[in-house]
Structure 1
Amino acid sequence: MSRKHKYSKVFKLEAVQKVLQDYQSITIVSDTIGIHKSDLKKWIKYYQEYGESGLEPKSVNASYSGAFKLKVIRSIEQSGLSFRAASLKYNIPSHSTVQGWYQTYISKGALELYKDGRGCPISMNNRKSRKILKKPQTREEELLLENESLKAELALLKKLKALAQAKKKKQ
């Protein structure tokens, strides 16, 4: 069973063309057709990046590999991409998905990106089964997680220092 999409490809294309070809403002077009202007801006960016295929409905339940998630995070850190820019570059439907990966990477490390977090969560009422499912980590796993966390922290500090130096140089 497929997911019902709110807006068709034809509808999105007409809205985008009103802005790009008819030179109407984003605000006027969004108010006229009854959508939020952030949605229209997103459609325009995807159209400019991928053409008409960028306006096709995307699978919300897509599954991404840990290596792909890490690649996206690394490009954010190295290129200074925003979450929206990274989702556009890698054709991910929602920037909040990328933001969630980044938060996981920062708080829990790169190894956590390789885990599949989908499925039924363990209920809070069943604490005994939750304790059984949680495996104790070996010392090596703990050290790997700590190492990843420290690397992420160091990269963040380097980025902060570079931004401070750039601001100081600009002044």
Structure 2
Amino acid sequence: MERKIKYSYEFKLRCIEEVLKENLSAESVAKKYGFDKSNLTRWLGFYNKYGTAGLQSRRNQIYTSTFKLKVLRTIKRKSISLNEACLSFNIPNASVIVSWQKRFEKLGNTGLVDKPKGRPNMAYKRAKKKSNKPLTREEELLLENESLRAQVDYLKKLQALIQAEEAVQNRKQKP
């Protein structure tokens, strides 16, 4: 598969001017510059419909799911070709519509919705609000019990670490 070549705006305009002003055929101009005639005919269509703005490269164009659905329905209803649909809806390449068709056939309307790209935002965790109500005696005792258990667990871990460190020291001292 060949690498896709991006043609500059100036190059496209020069080729179109050769076809329109010098009355050369699209095939001869395409052959002269060494690219496929279909590219030039597509550029001519965009130039005739949208003027020089139709030749500008449109990177990272984001289309809504309703627009995509409208394009697909128009293609089906009017039985128009992909290139005609590209021209009437100002879509730069037919491969864009082909990918929409595949996703629509596979997943339906949900396939036309763009998924957000990149890393998702971190979830925001709210701190629990403390209530101003005074705690009952039982709730106070439960909180104190929980706190004491945490202290005991901490002290046990600390004691285990100290013992492990002492064991390592004893092993080092014994030859």
Instruction: Give the TM-score normalised by the residue count of structure 2.
Output: 0.59
Partner of 2:140: none
Q: Which runs of 5+ in 1 are unaligned?
A: 121-171
Specify the code of the residue in structure 2 equivalent to 1:105: F
2:72 is paired with a residue whose SS is helix
Is 1:80 paired with 2:79? yes
Is 1:110 paired with 2:114? no
Partner of 2:138: none
Alignment map for 1:92-111 (pairs within 5 Å):
92-111=91-110
Higher relative contact order (CA 8 A, sep 6+): 1
Partner of 2:10: 10
Task: Say if 1:22 and 1:75 are closer, same or farther in 2 by CA, change over 3 A.
Answer: same
Cα offsets for 1:53-78 (capped at 9, x unmatched): 1111111x222111111111111111
Instruction: Give the TM-score normalised by the residue count of structure 1.
Output: 0.60
Q: Which runs of 4+ in 1 moved over 6 A?
A: none
Residue identity (%): 35
Structure 2 CA distance for aligned equivalents of residues 119 and 25 of structure 1: 46
Alignment map for 1:127-146 (pairs within 5 Å):
none
Alignment RMSD (CA, Å)? 2.0
1:63 is paired with a residue whose SS is coil
Structure 1 CA distance for aligned equivalents of residues 10 and 31 of structure 2: 18
Structure 2 CA distance for aligned equivalents of residues 42 and 118 of structure 1: 30
Q: Which of the pair has more CA radius of gyration? A: 2
Alignment map for 1:6-85 (pairs within 5 Å):
6-59=6-59, 61-85=60-84
Specify the code of the residue in structure 1 equivalent to 2:69: L
Structure 2 CA distance for aligned equivalents of residues 39 and 119 of structure 1: 33
CA shift for structure 1 position 119: 5.1
Structure 1 CA distance for aligned equivalents of residues 24 and 62 of structure 2: 37
Task: Say if 1:118 and 1:93 are closer, same or farther in 2 by CA, change over 3 A.
Answer: farther
Structure 1 CA distance for aligned equivalents of residues 64 and 70 of structure 2: 10
Q: Which runs of 5+ in 2 are unaligned?
A: 120-175
CA shift for structure 1 position 118: 4.9
Task: Say if 1:42 and 1:117 are closer, same or farther in 2 by CA, change over 3 A.
Answer: farther
